[in-house]
Structures are given as structure tokens and as C-alpha cells.
Chain A
Amino acid sequence: MTHMVEIRDLHKSFGSLEVLKGIDFTVDRGQVICVIGPSGSGKSTLLRCVNLLETPTKGQVFVEGLELTHPDVDIDAARRRVGMVFQQFNLFPHLTVLDNITIAQRRVLKRGKAEAVRVAEENLAKVGLEGKGRSYPAQLSGGQQQRVAIARALAMDPDLMLFDEPTSALDPELVGDVLAVMRQLADEGMTMIVVTHEMAFARDVADRVVFMDGGVIVEEGSPDRVIGAPEHPRTQTFLRRVLDPTHAEPDELDTGHPHRGLTGEESPDMVKGPSRHGGEGAGAGGVGAL
């Protein structure tokens, strides 16, 4: 049987900075994979290579047996089967919630208006937001916006969902609602790759946890093994900090070296607490070709 996702010897460089240094990795249908690791370790880049928001420098990415890295692949068609949820939500602010969820159904899947609206309302109900269709994103809380973003992705009937730190930009009291929706999705058998710092979620929901550091997979396995009894010292250091941020050892403090991945050291915000990463996504400028 073909894997849902198969990644072979994936490399990605930005200029002279090699961010992914040879990733091999498979996901089977219905599995939930949680990717954890320090800031800058390449988690987002890995996820973004799975739907080719980043073009790999080397290596292959297969989704349901189709090689996305093949030059002749119809990338728009391939992306329809892969939903993505971003840290910064990325809802379309000029459209109502309902239009956010129907626009791609109508323009890409060519669904009729009635059907698109029906699918949108189903998915809004699923994420606990029935009746919010006429609101604009700015009128919703962060947690509600993120659930709309999930509904928007689900409306395309994806076979695979990618989540890039979906709760990191949320106020703590709003995290639970989003995680509950994701947990329900997992229970329904959705194949998911989730980059997260929510260790409790990873422990409960993941079939497999992948620990990345410095552009490589350092350790992977069941949550009980990787989170419960990590073997590699880098995993141990990372988990100690995430699980008990107030007890970072003085000799483990961030040296301020820009590329910390290799030494197993984390960014300052990691020392303070696992959530709330600033970071990618919202930066203005450069709508380049994708």
C-alpha cells in the first residue's frame, strides 16, 4: 500500500543556510504525526515542503503516491488534497467567514453556490461556529478565527491536513477549543501532520512523535517513547525546557548564537515558555511566485 506521505532525503537551503539536511519520513493513512523541536530547527520548512509552499532543494516528496517534486506535476491539483492551517490563521480579511470557506470550493472545485454554502455550514458546525458565516474575520477571536481556518481547509475534502503551530498565536484560554477540534478530527481518522509545542496534545493524540533539531530528525517513535522516555540527550534537554520552563539549567541557557539547532539550544522564548512564538507568516512584502 502506498503511504499517504513519503519523504525521501529531503534537503532545503535558503541561500547558503541549509535548513533541512536530509529528512526521510512516512505517514500512513489515518495517522497523526506530531513534529516537535526547538525554534529554527526546520519544522515549518518541512511542513511547507509537503505541499510545496517551499520548493525542496533536493529529494522527493510523495503524497498518495504522486511525486510532488516531479517537474511535470500539476501542483494546484495536488494541493487540493492537502489542507493547511497556519500559525497566523491567514483568513482572507476582505471576505466574510462564509466566503472564506466557499471561495476555493467554487473557484477551484467548481462547486455550485448552494452546495458550497452547504459544505461551509457543515464544517462551521463541526468546528463549533454555526451561525458565524456572516461575520468578518476581524470580528472573531483568535480561537474562532483559527477554527474558521480549519473549516476552510476541511471544506476542500482534503486527504491530509497540515498544522503549523496552530495554537501558538492564541491566548492561553483559547487554545483548548482549537485543540478539541483537532482531536475530534483525529478521532474521525483524518491523516494529520501537526507541528506543535502542546506536549499534552502530542501525547494523547499522536500515533508518532518526531523530534527535529538542526534540520534532521533526531528521534521518532510513539509518544510514550519520545516524550515519555526520550533517548537522545538533545530530546531530553528540549523536553525538560518545554515541560518545565522555569527550571532551565544555567549552563543550558541560550548563547545567542544565531543558528542554535546543532547545539541543542533553544531560543529565549523557549526558555520562557513553550507557546507564543513570533515568527513566520505575517511578514509584509514579497508575494513572489510560489
Chain B
Amino acid sequence: MITQYVLFVVVLVVLAFTIDWPKIQETFFDFKATREMYPDLFTVALKNTVIYTVSAYVVGFVLGLVVALMRLSSVALYRWVALLFVEIFRGLPALLTLLIIGFGLPVALGGPVPGGTVGAVAVGLGLVAAAYMAETFRAGIQAVPRGQMEAARSLGMSYPRAMFSIVIPQGLRIIIPPLTNELVLLFKDSSLVSALGIAAAGVELTKMGSDFAINTADATPFVVAGASYLIITVPLGIVVRRLEARQAKAR
């Protein structure tokens, strides 16, 4: 125990004397030059980040549920298509999927995507999120005891009715932590949108950070953007851990 503390102090001391602190501060924490980032940082960039995240999450949630149900279908073709979907969109880099949709969809549609950048992002990142969420949904549904479906069917409910009224509500409770975690992941992945050519009104946190970094010629705008992500991701992470702890206790 003692040695671990001693080691920690030694490392701190070494760092304190070897690092050029003024230089560090000038590069990463020169907040005077970032005044111009406000209030757009929150009113535009953070807002857009949230919009991209939420719209992709909604697409991922709905599509993921559909794919999960297909994975559990008694029809082999559905199972097969769903598996293919999951493997493809989990296997591709999210950035590549986003680029394919962002650049490809307007060409394929012969015009702008409905919803503009938001529409393209919702589809592009939504497809990736759907692939991950489908597996989460499937696990949740399968964790519900078989007797629940049987009881519902024996009361005359159809398979879809029993699924949506009885099985899915119970399965969802089990998977709230991983579903919340997916929201955190998507929130961070929304930074990939900066790789699409987006109009000023559509700027999100990472794009804003890099635009300002070019102006100020230091990395402070990135730090500011990063802090803005943390405002959202850290509390969500705490929520996920609380939920997981509560479920572990309930077992």
C-alpha cells in the first residue's frame, strides 16, 4: 500500500519538473481565445450534437427492434437477413457507413436526403446503432422466461400482441443499462458527422472545435468541445452504473 502511494508521488514530482507547464497551458487551456465560441457552443453545436444523436438513436431503436424480432422469427429467411444486417453494420467502421450514406444517399435519391444532414446522419449512424441494439434487444427478449409467452398465448393473445404487451416490456427493463450505454456511444459517434461537408447551421461540437482550432492555432477549442461532451456522457455513465448496480441487487 505505502509503496503504491510513494510511487504515485514520485511520478507526480517527475512530471512536475519535466513538463513545460506554461507551454501546456498555452496550447490546451488558453481560454481567452475561445470566448468567441460562446454562446454558439451550446446554442448551435451542442444542440446539433444532441439532435444528431437522438435522431440516430430513434432510428437505431426502431430498426434494432425490428431486426431483433426477425432474428427470433420462425421464418428462416428473416433470421438470415437479420443476421446478415447485424454482421455487416457491426463489421463496418461507423465512419465509413456514415460516409456511404451521407454521400451515396443523395446520389441514389437523385436529390437531397429528406431532413438534410439530420436525415443522412439518422440513417447512417442509425444503421450502425440498430445492428448493436438488435443484439441487445434479442438478449433482453430471450431473458424473459418462456412461460410468459405461453401464458399470454394461452389467454388468446396473438404472437405479436404477446410480444409487445408482455415479453418486450419485461425484456426492456432488463436491457435499460446497455440501451443507455448505446446512447452514450452514439453521442460520441456523432462527432463523425464532422467528416461530412456540413453547413454552418449544422455544425456539431467536434466540427466547431476544429474550426476554431484553425483560427486560434492551438488545441484549446478541442478541449472546450471535449468538456461539452463530458457534460452529457459522465452523468449518463453514472446513471448506467447505478442502474446496473440496482439490477445486480435485485437478482
Contact = CB atoms under 8 A, between A and B. Distances in A.
Interface in A60-86: 76-77, 79-80, 82-84, 86
B249 interface: no
B146 A86 contact: no
A284 interface: yes
B142 A286 contact: yes
A57 interface: no
A22 to B, nearest CB: 25
Interface in A74-112: 76-77, 79-80, 82-84, 86, 88, 90-94, 103-104, 107-109
A15 interface: no
Summarize B's interface: helix, strand, loop or mixed.
helix
B72 A92 contact: no
Given A76-B158, A93-B170, A94-B170, A290 B153 contact: yes
A192 to B, nearest CB: 15
Contacts of A51: 154
B144 A287 contact: yes
Of B156, B161, B173, most A-chain CB atoms within 10 Å: B156
Given A86-B151, A94-B169, A94-B173, A283 B146 contact: yes
A290 B73 CA distance: 10
Nearest to A77: B156
A91 to B, nearest CB: 8
Nearest to A80: B156
18 contacts: A76-B157, A79-B153, A79-B156, A80-B156, A84-B151, A84-B154, A86-B151, A88-B147, A91-B151, A93-B170, A94-B169, A104-B156, A107-B165, A109-B156, A153-B155, A156-B155, A281-B147, A282-B147
Given A153-B155, A156-B155, 15 more contacts: A51-B154, A83-B155, A84-B151, A86-B151, A93-B170, A94-B170, A94-B173, A107-B165, A108-B155, A108-B157, A283-B145, A286-B146, A288-B74, A289-B74, A290-B150
